[in-house]
Amino acid sequence: MNIQGSIYRRLMLQLVGSAAILAAILFLLFQSFARQLAVESQDTTLKASASAILESVSVQQGQVVADIPYAALAMLGNVSDDRVFYQISRGTDVLTGYEDLPRSLDDTSWTAKYRDDPIRLVKVSRSLPINGSLTTIAVTVAQTQDGLAQKLGEISRTAILIGLIFFAVATILAVWAARSSVRPLNIVAAAVSRRGPADLRPVTTPVPSEMAPLTQALNAFIARLDRSLSQSEDFIAEAAHRVRTPLATVRAQAEVTLRRVDKEENRVALKQMIRAVDESSRAAGQLLDHAMVAFRTDHLERSKLDLRAIIEEIVERQTPIADLKDIEFLQTTAPDCIVLGDTILIQNALTNIIDNAVKYSPNETVITVTLEREGAEVVLTVADQGPGFEADNINALTDRFARGTNVGQTVGSGLGLTIANEVAKAHNGTLTLKQSTKGSGACVTLSLPA
Ligand SMILES: Nc1ncnc2c1ncn2[C@@H]1O[C@H](COP(=O)(O)OP(=O)(O)OP(=O)(O)O)[C@@H](O)[C@H]1O
Ligand SMILES: [Mg+2]
């Protein structure tokens, strides 16, 4: 399977990534807003102070007099331990205060560097009549920004905490969102994988609209598969019929001709021909049966089967063939041998086991068929008085086309036990071939869960 990435992981990555970016933006916005507010509040105090000083400036006898009220500078000291500077000027002349304080042409508030420290300055001015002409008096009040920096540090820490809480909540929501997005996929996957191999019904699990094309495609595929499977079942039956019928005709013709021919070498040739036809016919039949078994074990249809009835029917069908060799069936069958299985498959397996017993037994022998319940199992045992299994490894006789060393002239294709074994496995049962002690014959056991 070609697996590339994971929707869950990708969703998580995108959602958590977005949450991180949002948290960072939130932090920056919060911080800049807080900074702006802090600066504005400092400006307001500075402006109030500067205005109070400016109010105290008056002209007495042509002289500018400033009586700086205590409160004007005290209000700045209240805010923090920051140093405060002021300057009163008339045009470009400094009347009193710090002479080297940075200047501005307009009434404004600004930030500058003074004695190596950043300071915030506010300048206000008004015109006063001196000696008959209007003169502009300006007051500049400045303050260092240590208090502001300290306040901003506190705000930053709060902003980081808020950002982290936001990120944590967003991550939890992302996990929840990613999980619930992939849940329908998991539900469909579970519904499909829970199915038995024969279950080719369309998927009807409710799915979100995005998944509808996928389930539609899956259902269309299942429908095609179902059609082609039933076609191949028909094909197997048809092929069996078409192969066997002409072979039977050829065999019948050869038999008739054999009766009319006297010349020994022609008779030998005809007998070889009949045998070859028998081999082909058997091989074709067994191959098609095997294909059918492989197909049906993939789509096992289980129903309650009475093994006793099935066995009795097969023995009855084999009796005429057994009679030709004076072989007698001895049956011991228990009544309550019900198994869950596919009739056609079980019939096929049992026919092959009994067919072997008849085929490999010598004349005038007995085949014992026993059917009994052993705990949770139904056990069928077929024992004959033939040569028994002869092979280096008797379990290998269940391999495809495997034939033993004891077959002699007996026609066969080596698929009978393969079929029986596959049917046993498909029904969770076991097929056991018992090594015969010389002369006691073969013993085949088929155990199926009851
Ligand atoms: N009852 C038996 N007694 C002795 N040997 C047996 C018996 N049943 C099976 N065998 C051995 O096991 C081999 C495999 O059996 P299997 O039924 O698979 O094939 P087959 O009988 O040769 O061919 P066919 O596919 O036509 O049945 C046989 O060739 C034979 O050697
Ligand atoms: Mg066989």
Ligand 1 within 6 A of CB of 137: no
163 domain-assigned: no
Return the residue whose CA atom lies nearest to atom 10 of ligand 1. Answer: 389
Residue 413 and residue 295 in one domain: no
Residue 388 and residue 361 in one domain: yes
pLDDT at 112: 94
From residue 154, give the alpha-carbon distance in Å to each of 23, 34, 40, 144.
18, 10, 17, 18
Q: How far apart are CA 245 and CA 258, in angstroms?
A: 20
Query: Is residue 240 over pLDDT 70?
Result: yes
The CA 416 to ligand 1 mean position distance, Å, reads 7
Query: Is residue 66 over pLDDT 60?
Result: yes
Residues 378 and 371 sit within 8 Å (Cβ to Cβ)? yes
Among all bound ligands, the one having the nearest atom to the CA of 414 is: 1
Give the phi and the psi of residue 230 in degrees, each rounded to 5. -70, -30
What is the band of 48 on the pLDDT scale with cuts at 50, 70, 90? very high
- Residue 288's domain comprises 208-299
Ligand 1 within 6 A of CB of 282: yes
Q: Which of 244, 417, 421, 438 to mutate to test the pocket of ligand 1 (most atoms within 8 A of CB)?
A: 417
Residue 294 and residue 307 in one domain: no
266 domain-assigned: yes
Q: How far apart are CA 361 and CA 364, in angstroms?
A: 9
187 domain-assigned: no
pLDDT at 439: 62
- We report the CATH number of the domain holding residue 110 as 3.30.450
The CA 299 to ligand 2 mean position distance, Å, reads 24
Mean pLDDT of the chain: 90
Residues 215 and 185 sit within 8 Å (Cβ to Cβ)? no
Residue 137 and residue 57 in one domain: yes
Ligand 1 within 6 A of CB of 442: yes
For residue range 170-205, list pLDDT tens digits in order: 999 999 999 999 999 999 999 888 887 667 889 998
Give the position, in ligand 1's atom list, of the atom nearest the Cα of 407.
31
From 269, 299, 329, the end of a domain falls on: 299
pLDDT at 70: 86
For residue range 429-444, list pLDDT tens digits in order: 999 998 655 567 899 9
From 274, 299, 324, the end of a domain falls on: 299
Residue 285 and residue 327 in one domain: no
Q: What is the mean pLDDT of residues 253-280?
A: 93
Return the residue whose CA atom lies nearest to atom 6 of ligand 1. Answer: 389
Ligand 1 within 6 A of CB of 419: no
170 domain-assigned: no
Q: How far apart are CA 313 and CA 335, in angstroms?
A: 15
Give the position, in ligand 1's atom list, of the atom nearest the Cα of 404.
31
For residue range 314-340, list pLDDT tens digits in order: 999 999 999 999 999 999 998 889 999
Residue 334 and residue 273 in one domain: no
Residues with CB under 5 A from ligand 2 (ion): 356, 416
Q: Which of 289, 355, 356 to mutate to test the pocket of ligand 1 (most atoms within 8 A of CB)?
A: 356
Residue 319 and residue 247 in one domain: no
Residues, the chain: 450
pLDDT above 70 covers what percent of the chain? 98
Residue 212 and residue 147 in one domain: no
- We report the CATH number of the domain holding residue 345 as 3.30.565.10
Question: Which phi-psi region, left, alpha or beta, contains residue 53 (left: φ > 0; alpha: ψ -120 to 50)?
Answer: alpha
Please provide the DSSP assignment of 245-272 as one string. HHHHHHHHHHHHHHHH---HHHHHHHHH
What is the band of 229 on the pLDDT scale with cuts at 50, 70, 90? confident
Query: Is residue 31 over pLDDT 90?
Result: no
Higher pLDDT, 7 or 81: 7
pLDDT at 164: 92
**Segment of 67-81, 217-231, 240-254, 413-427 carrying the highest mean pLDDT:** 413-427
pLDDT at 295: 82
pLDDT at 96: 92
Residue 37 and residue 117 in one domain: yes
Residue 321 and residue 276 in one domain: no
Residues near 333 by beta carbon (within 8 Å), at least 6 away in sequence: 308, 311, 312, 369, 370, 371
Q: How many domains does the chain have?
A: 3
Q: What is the mean pLDDT of residues 140-157?
A: 88
pLDDT above 90 covers what percent of the chain? 58
Ligand 1 within 6 A of CB of 429: no
Take residue 24 and report the two structure tokens written for it: 């960072």
User: Smallest Cα–Cα separation from 303: which of 381, 226, 194, 198?
Assistant: 198
From residue 422, give the alpha-carbon distance in Å to each of 123, 298, 335, 417.
102, 11, 26, 8
Ligand 1 within 6 A of CB of 360: yes
Helix (H) or strand (E) holding 434: strand 430-434
Q: What is the mean pLDDT of residues 303-323?
A: 95
For residue range 78-127, list pLDDT tens digits in order: 556 788 999 999 988 999 999 999 999 899 999 999 999 899 999 999 99
What is the band of 60 on the pLDDT scale with cuts at 50, 70, 90? confident
The CA 326 to ligand 2 mean position distance, Å, reads 19
Residues 239 and 289 sit within 8 Å (Cβ to Cβ)? no
The CA 406 to ligand 2 mean position distance, Å, reads 12
pLDDT at 137: 93
Residue 263 and residue 280 in one domain: yes
Return the residue whose CA atom lies nearest to atom 13 of ligand 1. Answer: 403
Q: What is the mean pLDDT of residues 282-309?
A: 88
Rounded to two decimals, what is the model's pTM? 0.59
Q: What is the mean pLDDT of residues 228-237?
A: 81
From 95, 125, 156, the end of a domain falls on: 156
Residue 329 and residue 349 in one domain: yes
Query: Is residue 139 over pLDDT 90?
Result: yes
Q: What is the mean pLDDT of residues 296-304?
A: 85
Residue 407 is given by DSSP the state: -
Q: Checking DSSP bridges between strand 303-306 and strand 133-144, what pairing results, if any? A: unpaired
